[in-house]
Structure 1
Amino acid sequence: MEMPDRKFWTSVSCAAIAMAMFHGVARAQESTPVAPGEPSVSAQTAETGFGDIVVTAQRRSESINKVPLSIQAFGGEALATAGITDTAGISQLVPAFNFSRSSANTPIYTVRGIGFNTPNLSSTSPVGIYIDEVAYAYPYMSNGPSYDIERVEVLKGPQGTLYGRNTTGGLVNYITAKPTRDFHAGLTAEVGNYETINFEGFVSGPLTDTLSVRIAGRWDNSNKGWQRNVDVPGERLGEKDRLGTRISLLWEPTDRLKVTLGASYWEDNSDTIAVQAVAFNPDSPPFAAPGLADQVRTNWKAGEAGWGPSYPGKPAYKADSRFWSASGRIDYELNDALTLTSLTGYSDVKRHDMNDVDGTSFEPSEYLSDGRIRSFSQELRLIGDTGPVNWVLGGYYSRDKIRDNQIGYYRDSSILNTLAFLGGTVPQTDYTPEQIANGFNTFRNLSSQVSRSLSAFANADWAISDQFKISAGLRYSDDKLDFKGCSADHDNNTAPVWNTGVAAIVAARTGRPFANPGIGPNECLTYKADFSGPTGLVSSELKQDNLSGRLAVTWTPNSRTLAYASISRGYKSGAFPVVAANVETQLVPARQEKVTAYEAGVKLGLLGRLVQFNAAGFFYDYRDKQVFGEILDPIFVSLTRIVNVPKSEVYGAETDITISPTRDLLFKFGASYTHTKVTEFVGFNRFGQSQDFAGSAFPFTPKYQLNALVSYDMPINDSLAIRFGANGNYQGKTVGSLDEDPVFDVKAYTIVNANIALHRQDDRWSIGLYGRNLFNENYYTATDILTDTSIRVPGMVRTYGLVASFKY
């Protein structure tokens, strides 16, 4: 197989090509001293089942079983062994955490029903993604690979009194492996089906007595696509070409000062996922493309799909995305009780993805998404330990510049065929019949935004006795979002139909004479609210502020038992949509959403800590939930817009059980029940019909979810052992929309991964086999309806391979 030289030598030059399976997070006992804000480590790994994994969820290092929050944490070795190389895979290990992908290649993260189904680059998520506590506020930023991870922490429920940005659903915080004072290096190579060759690795060590460096990276490459085009034999999609690198510097000039600098980069040139068309529902049946209905089916097999035609000037169905970031952290101990921390972050992501979103060999609906986000953040916090009270005071500032554009390809859309037909009947002298007949094959959606967020937060934990602790936190946020955008002509292809067929419909429905002022090449076509003519670039501003917080009581009657109860409130800021906007009212922003969460839980160490049992129950009062909904349109029947659901609720329970009968054997089980319900919302469904959505369940939230993991390390002799591992994830039935139409159903599915490896007991080397989606489950993670077809987004088929790793 031919290997791309540039990526190969880039990876080798930074000695950063290996799997994280040999670089597991280490754990420490609760009494181990730590540096400010950093986890402690010991020789025992988090996956052995002995001791307690140490987390920093509350801005200090402590046992995960002493944190009065619903939190799961996994070490780097557990992630690599389970085949988790990005945030999407976390859903295989954490109950009530769900991943799906929009038809436009945007990640959608949902925790306990709290998520935001959007294809837009510019929309923030109610589930925050953090790398070393620096916020990646926009989900697309997490599309790169995960590698050289010390551990990952998943927190559930509203967050904001301790972390940089407000979130209503929860957060995922990756803690990357840090530079070491001794030299260490590792390299792993993986070969598998679909002509897969992956590399990952790191090198770490001292530069001087006070300065250390770590370089790490990962390259994923598959030269054979896993999706077959059922309409064009021999065509495939699914090739993967993704690279990520990171460099970290740690400077410790004194015992009280620590400076950490980091820079990371990823690029993705992989194929985008082809969707599957499962229903034919044309907007204008008489003008539907002949033969389009024949390409819709419900019995798609795993790895099958359909996608549109290729022709000169049309982009390939690929991603062409780049991301880089830089961060700086300063921890300075003012004295034994006070630590000042500064955390600075800058991120720059570019997106250029071409997606077929109709699932056929025709072209009724395809999108090229093109955008860029430049995000700056600065956080300052003061951490104090004054006897029975631990406290945090902090401030946060961020400013993001966003460009989020789209080019729509609609040449076979039934409604646009209708408009072109009408345009041909309108008397005019500006366009030829050919220009009108071939018009509106493409159009553009344009937007530019500037987001500014300013907040202050405080949190305190007060141990009022040996058994009781009270925790309280407040956060005030002030956000401002400036927006400019519209839909527009694309290279004078849209205008011939817009100025004839569309103008005639508007004139007829408004009762005005046909006197459209018309749009010129590449001008905005979005109408004013009264349809008196194009509005030009729509400018708008959204200002909002809020006060959020958390109050919790913790009871620890002994060292093996913890019980807690909490009430918290979180907000997600409002958002402007990037949609095909026929009229300016589609670009009205959604208000900020609010969640008031009530939660109670227990954490029990049983049988001499051989069994750890954690459980939690919760109820959420959810106001103004943001969803992509529908509004009526006089031309296109209905069009999308971000709308607010006035009232809804979520309640449920979850449990997490870890069993460690021996040092070499580990079982983990997780289960969740999540009930979601809209209690007040009247709107329009995806077919343009008025509907009362009261009683509807949330998208991408199965009622039942089960997770299981088993690991057994069987010694052969004093130096060798065989490691067996398997993990499974069951996701119950859910839906892809608030609509109750069966076309939006997402069926239940189960994914099983397994591995076996021979390794030295000191982990100097290992060689093994893996299988992911071992039983080749035919599943899909999302459903949607676009122009003329309903579609589903399929999941990955079975993959398997051989992996070898070495470390020094």
Structure 2
Amino acid sequence: MKRLLLGASSAVLALAAALPAAAQSNTGAPSGSPSAAQAVDDIVVTAQRRQESSQKVGLALTVISGDDLDNRNIGNVNDLENSVPSLEVDSQLGGGQPQFRVRGVGLTDYAANNTSTVGIYVDEVAYPYGVMTQGLLYDIARIEVLRGPQGTLYGRNTTGGAVSVVTNAPTDTVQAGFSASYGSYDAAKFEGFLSGPVAENLTARLSLAAESGGAWQYHRDTGESLGDKDTKAARLRVNWRPTAQTDIDLNLHYSRDESDGRGLRLITTPFTAGGGRVYPIDTAHRITGWGISPYFAQLIGVSPNAKPFRDNEGKGLSLRLNQNLGWATLTAIASYESFDRREFNDWDATASNEAGTYFFNDIETTSQEVRLSSPTGGRFQWLAGFYHANETVDGGFHSDFSEAKGLGFFMSTTYGQKVQTTGVFGNIDYKLTDRLTLIGGLRYEDESRDLNDFKTQVLAPVPRVNATTSKSQSMGEWSGKVGLEYTVSDDILTYANVSRGVKSGGFTTYNSGLPEQLDPFKFEELIAYEAGVKSSFFDRKLQLNAAAFYYDYRDQQLQGVLYTQTGRVGRMINVPKSHIQGAELELRWRPLNNLTITQSIGYKYGEYDEFFFVNATATEAAKDPVTGEYNTIVYSDRAGERLPFPKWDYKGSVAYDWQIGGWGVEAESNYAYRDEKFSTSSNSIIASYWLVNANLTLRPANANYAVGLYVNNLTDSYSEESRNRFISASTGSPNPPRTWGVRVSYRY
């Protein structure tokens, strides 16, 4: 694979690169005029299921164009957190399952069977499970991130928000291009596309992407490298317009990820492993460790010297119909998505076999959505829709505790899960006056969720099987929204909304035979109060948007712990009552034709209002130092404690271009700050950090190729995305150090 990418990189010097399609814009000024040249792009979005300016949408909404994704080196969903206020995307324990949190609302769970608190959509198709979203972002038109409860416009119901990925559509003229890069640790990446007419009224677009190399970590004992990527993806979009009123879009896509896993670092205290070896706290940024026992290697079908790895495959198709009926537009979407997860992680980060974990999951989802929406532009606009989905999640995981103190065995957890969801929803916009608009939406969702044949068993050295358990859960809940928008002027929109969102409950599918752990956790609900303003100044050279919110949170889903005398296990729980409050400010400014500045800052703070739960610190302190048993499990009133997410985040970019001789030069830097946060699973603080990236691009005048240099993590700062204490070792999942590379691109 690496030879293929290096060959492509060489070929690119003579050929091509896929430059992201520019976002649609409508500055309101004639092309070529000074105002048109300097005005900030007015991006057209479909956040409310109709095309409109992002500045005319009364929602907290951030849009990242395809150009922005390229300029900021955003290659996967985890990188989005560095460009969107109040957004965090972490992969817990270094695994391949992204976890999304918007304004402090998000689910942390390393199992694959529970749905995300933030709705993720690709071309209007929901990806309900976080692990399904780990693939490459390539050939993207834009990404729209909505903050706050959703459900009256989108297929699924969520409490946190929605991330909508819109890929580039087929073009009416022939276009082609590709890009390639090569950098630190032999990291290589290639993207390409071919688009254009195939026959009368029929267009198609084929997009390809691949990535390899980049192993920046090393084993503390052997020096062996870890972190090579081996990913490939393809997408075919075919668009057929048999009549002026009918538009049919087919989307076929495939992805494969055979990359190394992420290595963890030992943190907080020295760790005594099996056999008595004492591991000190890791200090080097790139250091890690792993190991696998012969029995476990044979069990999961890998070599006895295997590294942490992924072997994941995703594929799917969707068919979308848009039919203009005159009095309304009919939209119908049918989709099928499949994702197979095979992933080995070493969660004790040492050569000792304390906590090796192998996931195996087969996920299948089918969904159908039908919507009717009124023509745009009238005083009264409406939308009505129906959504239905069937989901299955089969599999589980194997665990290697063969050298863990007090355990000394191999375990396996297996289950099957079936989910059926049906929702009906509607939304209206009614202009009470030319300036004042009333907005209302309502949704009812019915869901059944069944966990079948859940079983945790000891495989070796002495087999032991716990009883097979099945659990069921159902939900029938209303959600909705009411709001007002007031247009102060053509360039200033104010809004206020009150909305209620709900998010499905689920099951804890961790290793355990304890009955209490298998009880389902219930759905959560959130009442959101929000007010904001969207504004443009100085002939639309400056956009300034602000929003403030207060969340009344009930039955918040949280990854907690369950203590017994002999150990501790993770368990998903519900917090009876909590609240979150905060605000965001976003600025996009073009003071000069060739200078663009973006800035955003987010603040959020939350507390538990009603929460009586285990006091992990006191319980650990009371543990018997000889037997390691928890003789006293301490509970306490946790009301008033801060919710575990960062208070502050700050993101921005500065881009400047100029001419030198016959060359155009573009310099861009983007940066992000994330405040410290408390890790409940490791009972420690994850420190705050800054991330700075930089790009320099050269474009010959009147040419359609470019060469560039990029640096990620320019200051070489150390940061962690998550922490955990799985058995005995406390570990952190580090982000990469400084890396750099060269990039070439071409477009026909």
TM-score (norm 1): 0.85
**Partner in structure 2 of residue 537 of structure 1:** 468
Amino acid at match of 2:675: G
Give the CA deviation at 1:489: 3.2
Shift of 1:715: 2.8
Tell me: CA distance 1:682–1:763, structure 2 relative to 1, closer, same or farther (3 Å): farther
Deviation at 1:785, TM superposition (A): 1.2
SS of 1:187's equivalent? strand
User: Equivalent residue of 2:242, what SS?
Assistant: coil
Is this contact kept in 1: 2:442–2:481, CA < 8 A? yes
1:759 is aligned to 699
Contact 2:455 2:469 in 1 (8 A): no
Tell me, what secondary structure is at the counterpart of 2:67? helix
- Aligned equivalents of 1:163 and 1:291: distance in 2? 55
2:563 corresponding residue in structure 1: 632
Match of 1:121 in 2: 112
Match of 2:708 among 765, 768, 781: 768
SS in 1 for 2:193: strand
Cα distance in 2 for partners of 1:388, 1:703 equals 41
Residue in structure 1 matched with residue 527 of structure 2 by the alignment: 596
Is structure 2 residue 610 aligned with structure 1 residue 680?
yes
Match of 1:251 among 219, 240, 259: 240
Q: What is the alpha-carbon distance in structure 1 between the residues aligned to residue 641 and residue 555 of structure 2?
A: 15
Q: Secondary structure at the match of 2:411?
A: strand
Distance in 1 separating the partners of 2:634 and 2:110? 23
Aligned match of 2:358 in 358, 368, 387? 368
Q: Is this contact kept in 1: 2:117–2:160, CA < 8 A?
A: yes
The aligned runs of 1:549-698 (5 Å cut-off) are 549-636=480-567, 638-686=568-616, 687=620, 689-698=634-643
What do residues 197-222 of structure 1 show as CA deviations (whole Å, max 9, x unaligned)?
Answer: 21001100101120000000210111
CA contact (8 A) 2:105 2:117 kept: yes
| 1:488 Cα offset (Å) | 3.3
Distance 2:162 2:226 in 1: 32
**Separation in structure 1 between the aligned mates of residue 142 and residue 183 of structure 2, nearest angstrom:** 26
How far apart in 1 are the matches of 2:382 and 2:29? 20
Q: Please tell me whether Structure 1 or Structure 2 has the larger radius of gyration of its CA atoms.
A: 1
Partner of 1:303: 286
CA distance in 1, matches of 2:701, 2:50: 32
SS at match of 2:349: coil
Q: Separation in 1 of the partners of 2:709 and 2:472?
A: 55
Within 2, Cα distance between the matches of 1:589 and 1:206?
52
Q: How far apart are the structure 2 equivalents of 1:30 and 1:383?
A: 26
Report the residue type matching 1:784 in the other structure. Answer: N
- Within the candidate set 677, 680, 690, 1:737 is matched to 680
- 1:312-331 aligned at under 5 Å gives the runs 314=297, 315=302, 316=306, 317-331=308-322
Residues 412 and 489 from structure 1, CA distance in 2 versus in 1: closer, same or farther, beyond 3 angstroms?
same
2:629 is matched with none
Post-superposition CA distance 1:361-415 (Å, at most 9, x none): 2111121011010000100000013831111000000000111310000011112
Aligned pair in 2 of structure 1 residues 578, 42: CA closer, same or farther (>3 Å)?
farther
The structural deviation recorded for 1:589 is 0.8
Is 2:707 the partner of 1:724?
no
Secondary structure in 2 aligned to 1:77?
Answer: helix
Q: Give the secondary-structure state (helix, strand or coil) at the position aligned to 1:194.
A: helix
2:440 to 472, 476, 493: 472
RMSD (Å), alpha carbons: 2.6
Note the alpha carbon deviations across 1:172-209, whole angstroms, 9 max, x for none: 11110000110000011111111112100110010112
- When residues 101 and 4 of structure 1 are mapped into structure 2, their CA distance, relative to the original with a 3 A threshold, is same
**CA distance in 1: counterparts of 2:320 and 2:703, whole angstroms:** 32
- Matched with 1:227 is 217
Shift of 1:42: 13
Separation (CA, whole Å) in 1 of partners of 2:192 and 2:454: 45
CA distance in 2, matches of 1:621, 1:476: 20
In structure 1, the partner of 2:628 is none
Describe the shift of the 1:470–1:611 C-alpha distance in structure 2 as closer, same or farther (beyond 3 A).
Answer: same
Q: Secondary structure at the match of 2:185?
A: coil
Deviation at 1:685, TM superposition (A): 4.4
- The partner residue of 1:27 within 22, 25, 30 is 25
Residues 1:3 and 2:8 are matched in the alignment: no
- Give the corresponding residue for 1:97: 87
The 1:184/1:596 distance shift into structure 2, 3 A limit, reads: same
Q: Deviations over 1:341-371 (max 9, x none)?
A: 0011110000010001112221111210110
* Residue equivalent to 2:742: 802
Report how far residue 760 of structure 1 moved. 4.0
Deviation at 1:27, TM superposition (A): 2.0
Deviates more, 1:483-492 or 1:23-32: 23-32
Q: Which amino acid aligns with 2:285?
A: A
Any conservation in 2 of the 1:108–1:115 contact (CA below 8 Å)? yes
Gaps of 5+ in 2: 621-632
Following superposition, the deviation at residue 102 of structure 1 comes to: 0.9
Report matched runs for 1:259-408 at 5 Å.
259-280=248-269, 289-292=274-277, 294-297=278-281, 300-309=283-292, 311=294, 314=297, 315=302, 316=306, 317-335=308-326, 337-385=327-375, 387-408=378-399
**Secondary structure, in 3 states, of the residue corresponding to 1:253?**
strand
Query: 1:447: Cα distance to partner?
Result: 1.3
CA contact (8 A) 2:141 2:166 kept: yes
Q: Shift of residue 804 of structure 1?
A: 0.3
* Alpha-carbon contact 2:416-2:454 (below 8 Å) kept: no
CA distance in 2, matches of 1:82, 1:343: 32
The answer for the alignment partner of 1:533 in structure 2 is none
- Aligned twin of 1:147: 138
The answer to whether the Cα contact below 8 Å between 1:631 and 1:641 also exists between their aligned partners in 2 is yes
Rounded to whole Å, the distance in 1 between the matches of 2:490 and 2:53 is 11
| 2:270–2:280 contact (8 Å) kept in structure 1 | no
Cα distance between partner residues in 2 of 1:211 and 1:165: 31
Structure 2 residue corresponding to 1:238, chosen from 202, 224, 227? 227
**Aligned-residue identity in percent:** 31
Q: Deviations along 1:59-92, whole A, 9 cap, x unmatched?
A: 1111111100000101111101100011111111
What is the Cα deviation at residue 682 of structure 1? 1.3
Correspondence for 1:708 among 628, 633, 652: 652
- C-alpha distance in structure 2 between counterparts of 1:31 and 1:455, whole Å: 42
Alpha-carbon distance change, 705 to 762 in structure 1, aligned in 2, over 3 angstroms: farther
- C-alpha distance in structure 2 between counterparts of 1:631 and 1:727, whole Å: 42
Written as runs of structure 1 = structure 2, the 5 A alignment for 1:144-223 is 144-222=135-213
2-structure distance, mates of 1:43, 1:415: 75
2:149·2:161 contact (CA, 8 Å) conserved in 1?
Answer: yes
Q: 1:48: how far off? A: 7.2
Superposition deviation, residue 273 in structure 1 = 0.6
Letter in 1 for 2:638: F
Q: Decide whether aligned partners of structure 1 residues 121 and 600 sit closer, same or farther in structure 2, where only a CA change above 3 A counts.
A: same
What are the superposed Cα offsets for residues 311-345 of structure 1, whole Å, 9 maximum, x if unpaired?
Answer: 4751431000000010110000001x310000111
Equivalent residues in 2 for 1:400-439 (5 A)?
400-417=391-408
Measured after TM superposition, the shift of residue 279 of structure 1 is: 3.9
Task: Assess, with a 3 A threshold, how the Cα gap between structure 1 residues 763 and 55 changes in structure 2: closer, same or farther.
Answer: farther
Give the gaps of 5 or more residues in structure 1: 33-40, 418-439, 496-518, 526-535
Give distance in 2, aligned partners of 1:698 and 1:99. 17
Taking a change above 3 Å as real, the CA distance of residues 798 and 96 of structure 1, as seen in their structure-2 partners, is same
2:427 maps to a residue whose letter is N
Q: What is the CA–CA distance in structure 1 between the aligned matches of 2:437 and 2:700, rounded to whole Å? A: 45
1:432-451 equivalences in 2 (<5 Å): 440=409, 442-451=410-419
Which TM-score applies when normalising by structure 2?
Answer: 0.92
Classify the secondary structure of the residue corresponding to 1:174: strand
The one-letter amino acid paired with 1:171 is A
8 A Cα contact 2:422 2:447, kept in partner: yes
Name the count of aligned residue pairs: 720
One-letter code aligned to 1:146? L
